[in-house]
Amino acid sequence: MSASSTTPTKSAAVRARLKHPVIDSDGHTIEFAPAVNDYLKQIAGPQLLARFGNVNDLVAAGGWHRQNRQQRFDRRNIRPPWWGFPSANTLDRATTTLPKLLYQRMEDFGLDFTVVYPTLAMYAAHLRDDELRRSVSRAFNMYHADLFREFSDRMTPVAVIPMHTPDEAIAELDFVVRQLGMKVVMMPGNVRRPLPIVEQRAPDAVRFGFWVDNLALDSLYDYDPVWAKCVELGVAPTFHSSGMGWGSRNSISSYVYNHIGNFAAAGEAVCKAMFLGGVIRRFPTLTCAFLEGGAGWACNLYSDLLGHFSKRNRRAVQNYNPARLDRDLFRDLCRRYGTPLIQDRLHALDTGERMAGPDEELSTLDEFAACGIERPEEVRDIFARNFYFGCEADDPINAWAFNARVNPLGARLNAIFSSDIGHWDVPDMTTVTEEAYELVEHGLITDADFRDFVFANPARLWTSINPDFFKDTAVDNDVRQLLATP
């Protein structure tokens, strides 16, 4: 019996009116834990499996459920994710675990092709134990490659790449691309590392004293060999990371508080680092996707980078060099216009206003040196060429990415349709394309914008570094026609 609707869904009706495919760049599967455990046992042995426990335990945060409120407060253990999968909608819950069922229902969702990200595997790459992190990540990758292989004309699974060191990342990249044949990779956009001073003085407290390594700026390691390997293998780094537990997102009682904005914060951190750290300058053909955080933060970051560059590039920043201050004029103005509160203290002016001269390291004054930016238009060009931003179907802020009247220099950011099917954000999978199209119906974007959102931008992302990404898929001809059009 078919699981597809006998009556066309609204998403299917939207798709039927379109003259182009709909490519979903961020669906989700929920792994079948017993099968993943078997893969882990196969590659690492029963002893490591016993030490690890169960893949379902990956979501737990620091034993939160076993602690009372005072213990959570004392340890600042955040409220972890809970009740995150479809349950009342049993068909959707099964669909997100069974690729064959997802394949059968895609027409109801209005989708032609979907890139399927993992769920539990996202936590595997953050395990602190080196052996566990690498083995569990590999087990998930083998499981997903086998599970989705026969459905490759309509969907492709995503491999998780641990990033604690460049060596482990390169090893897994080679394995998943060359041996498993996978063509999409997901990297943690950050690695939490213990503060060295805490590690030295209070090793039992290292989990409470950490810093966030963004992999590209002031990192513990040089990750350039990883980016070079991505270019060599033809895979675009995609970042699907959580920002929960750092910054202000550390509530011990509210998952909602921790969750709101966390993907945006994590995406901004690594995107900003890739830009300012000069990764794109050194690897100009590298394209990156930052998923599930929407486009609002990206528009804001783009505008902020332009604003900072205009005032703090190596020439403009000299406007704030204390050595350029006319001390005599400043002192005279203070005498003429200052109140006694200031006039009576002019003898301390040099100290109080740092008027004695610059004390900065001259080699650090150009903070845009690594990215090699000389003109504002180059900032726009990098965002247009190298960065893509995953946006969920029901997010009205998606329209901002296409608003060239608001974005500086007439920019249109590369928003890509990212359904998030499989998670609590989507209570009914059949609504995703319909909800995305509401931006057109409400007059917030045009049909041409929608085409870019669900087809042209995703197609360019996935083929930018791998021209054959869609070869032998259901959308192959449409993508080839798109790329052949000037």
The pLDDT value given to residue 1 = 40
DSSP category for residue 179: I
Helix (H, G, I), strand (E, B) or coil at 194: strand
10-311+383-484: CATH topology: TIM Barrel (3.20.20)
Q: Can you spell out the DSSP letters for 26-68?
A: EEE----HHHHHHHHHHHH-HHHHHHH--GGGGG--TTGGGS-
Cα–Cα distance measured from residue 97 to residue 30, given in angstroms and rounded to the nearest whole number? 5
Q: Domain spans of the chain?
A: 10-311+383-484
Provide the residue-wise pLDDT of the chain in tens; the chain has 486 residues. 456 666 889 999 999 999 999 999 999 999 999 999 999 999 989 888 888 876 666 766 668 888 999 988 888 888 988 888 889 999 999 999 999 999 999 999 999 999 999 999 998 999 888 999 999 999 999 999 999 999 999 999 999 999 999 999 999 999 999 999 999 999 999 999 989 998 888 888 877 788 999 999 999 999 999 999 999 999 999 999 899 988 888 899 999 999 999 999 999 999 999 999 999 999 999 999 999 999 999 999 999 999 999 999 999 999 988 888 888 899 999 999 999 999 998 888 776 656 555 567 777 889 999 999 999 999 999 999 999 999 999 999 999 999 999 999 999 999 999 999 999 999 999 999 999 999 999 999 999 999 999 999 999 999 999 999 999 999 999 999 999 987
Helix axis angle, 33-44 relative to 130-148, nearest 10°?
120
Token duo for residue 258: 């921790």
**Closest by CA position to 23, among listed 155, 168, 137:** 155
The pLDDT value given to residue 6 = 67
165 Cβ partners below 8 Å, 6+ apart?
A: 221
Token duo for residue 1: 């019996």
pTM above 0.75, yes or no: yes
DSSP category for residue 97: T
The pLDDT value given to residue 322 = 83
Cα–Cα distance measured from residue 474 to residue 20, given in angstroms and rounded to the nearest whole number? 12
174, 454, 397, 88 alpha-carbon torsion, rounded to 10°: -80
**What number of CA atoms fall less than 13 Å from residue 265's CA on the CB side?**
14
Residue type, 228: A
